[in-house]
Amino acid sequence: MKRAFVIGHPIAHSRSPLIHTHWLQRYAIAGSYEAIDVAPADLGSFLERVRAGEFAGGNVTIPHKEAVFALADSRDELAEEIGAVNTLVNRDGGVFAFNTDYLGFLGNLDQHAPGWDAGLEQAIVLGAGGAARAILVALRARNIPLVHLLNRTIDKAQALAIDLGGRIEAGRLADFGDLATGAGLVVNCTAVGMHGTAFDGLDLGRLPATAVVTDIVYVPLETPLLAAARARGLRAVDGLGMLLHQAVPGFEAWFGTRPEVTAELRALVEATL
């Protein structure tokens, strides 16, 4: 029986076991997927267990995505560009790592805001952590000419902009109001919004009427940012679709079947939020 996991610290909040267990049942696959709390100091020994064949592979979540990138034995090209990983596969006794947040993000926007990238000149990305890296690379893949990368800690935004290269301009969250008039897309990649937290003074009033606002936080599904966008009549896309779509390649790699993101799966996960 093949085993897979999601590691994080903490990990109890993760919906990934629900998603993968649903697919295991749906496709009648004899396998398991479990949430395992791994402290940062124990990452090295956990990866040894993967190398030893205890698991077919698994997912990596906060705060380990960048640390595991460095600890893995090999990575795909996209993960190298992003500098963070969320999916691991035991390949010939080594840990092969890749990043499916990128695909999840694009799959979700394409599904729920079709045409979002057509003629898009400028985007604003909030946050400069592991998820932001994946999203910046995804926006580059869609040829968005200019991205404003705003973060509470501006040094991190500057470092990330330099690291990734291209037209990424770093700034502070307080710059949002001045940049909003030119932005056709806003992506929240910070932890703000989780459990009812909200940005302080982020005014959506100056965004163009055609702008799309998306949040990758999905607990709650309707974050204060998305509620404010909808109240302004903007297209708002929640982060649950990203979570569902990012899970597809991992499941396929560990269990050999490409699973489908269905309305039934979405409803199942939504009921737990």
The residues assigned a catalytic role are 65
Residue numbers 199-258 binding ligand NAP by CB under 6 A:
216-218, 239, 242-243, 246
In this structure, are strands 122-126 and 146-150 parallel, antiparallel, or unpaired? parallel
Q: How many residues does the chain have?
A: 273
One-letter amino acid at 187 equals V
Q: Which listed residue (59, 99, 151, 214) binds ligand NAP by CB under 6 A?
A: 151
Shortest distance, position 55 Cβ to ligand NAP, whole Å: 21
- Tell me the C-alpha to C-alpha distance, in Å, between residue 166 and each of 160, 177, 262: 11, 23, 36
Stretch touching ligand NAP by CB under 6 A, among 39-47, 61-69, 163-171, 225-233: 61-69
Binding mask 73-112 for ligand NAP (x = CB under 6 A): ----------------------------x--x--------
**Closest C-alpha to 211, from 229, 197, 192, 238:** 229
Neighbouring residues of 156: CB distance < 8 A, sequence distance ≥ 6: 128, 129
Nearer to ligand NAP, 18 or 62 (CB): 62
Instruction: State the DSSP H helix or E strand holding residue 16, giving kind and residue range, or none if neither.
Output: helix 16-26
Nearer to ligand NAP, 153 or 181 (CB): 153
Q: Which listed residue (127, 184, 249, 250) binds ligand NAP by CB under 6 A?
A: 127
Shortest distance, position 167 Cβ to ligand NAP, whole Å: 20
Nearer to ligand NAP, 155 or 252 (CB): 155
Three-state secondary-structure class, residue 240: helix
Q: Is 62 in the site for ligand NAP (CB under 6 A)?
A: yes
d(CA 35, CA 41): 18
Nearer to ligand NAP, 124 or 132 (CB): 132
Q: Is 120 in the site for ligand NAP (CB under 6 A)?
A: no
Size of the site for ligand NAP (CB under 6 A): 27
Give one DSSP letter per residue of 47-83, joined into a string. HHHHHTTS-SEEEE-TT-HHHHHHHSSEE-HHHHHHT
d(CA 166, CA 169): 9
Q: Is 138 in the site for ligand NAP (CB under 6 A)?
A: no
d(CA 24, CA 250): 13
Nearest residue by C-beta to ligand NAP? Answer: 129
Shortest distance, position 218 Cβ to ligand NAP, whole Å: 5
Interface with ligand NAP (CB under 6 A):
62-63, 65, 101, 104, 127-132, 151-153, 156, 189-192, 194, 216-218, 239, 242-243, 246
